[in-house]
Amino acid sequence: MIQQQTKLKVSDNSGAKHVKCIKTLGGFKKKVNRINDTIIVSIQQLRNKAKITSKVRKGELYKAVIIKSKKKSQKKDGSMFKNNENSVILLNKQNKPIATRIISPITKELKVKRFSKLKNISAGTI
């Protein structure tokens, strides 16, 4: 479960390393987010090798999609999975990914529902 002020890892090659959740989207009184939800994040730290050629800058605000969470998740078929870290993918204003490659696998629900572009650039599925 991701709340405001949660620090997250970025799992793409946009140039950011760590981000902080600023706002949860999707409802008036929504306080926590789960996998496949959209949030607004602020860039906290950049990757060392990508500081010059980075597509993002420190302190800027972006939308992001949660792809991993430490909280256990259950699929509709009954299987459960858990990750060791909280992780996101950065998006631009048109909900397209900033990066050209996603390092970690994403869920099938995310591929089918909203973000068809992520299907082509992801490493695999969970």
CA 41 – CA 7 distance, rounded (Å): 9
What pLDDT shows up at residue 28? 87
For residue 11, count other CB atoms closer than 10 A to its CB: 22
Can you give the residue range of the structural domain that contains 62? 7-99
User: pLDDT by residue (tens digit) across 13-66?
Assistant: 999 999 999 999 988 888 999 888 999 999 999 998 767 788 899 999 999 999
Q: Is residue 80 part of a domain?
A: yes
Q: Is residue 78 part of a domain?
A: yes
CA 67 – CA 37 distance, rounded (Å): 8
Question: What is the pTM assigned to this prediction?
Answer: 0.89
Q: Is the pLDDT of residue 113 over 70?
A: no
CATH number of domain containing 28: 2.40.150.20
114 vs 7, higher pLDDT? 7
51 vs 79, higher pLDDT? 79
What pLDDT shows up at residue 75? 81
The arithmetic mean of pLDDT across residues 1-7, rounded, is 93
Considering the chain, what percentage of its residues have pLDDT values greater than 90?
Answer: 48
CA distances from 85 to 10, 30, 49, 113 (A): 10, 22, 22, 23
The arithmetic mean of pLDDT across residues 63-75, rounded, is 90
Residue 108 banded pLDDT, cuts 50, 70, 90 = confident
What pLDDT shows up at residue 86? 94
First and final C-alpha spacing in the chain = 18
* Total structural domains within the chain: 1
CA distances from 74 to 81, 88, 93 (A): 7, 19, 30
CA 110 – CA 120 distance, rounded (Å): 12
* Tokens encoding 69: 């969470």
Q: Is residue 70 part of a domain?
A: yes
Q: Is residue 35 part of a domain?
A: yes
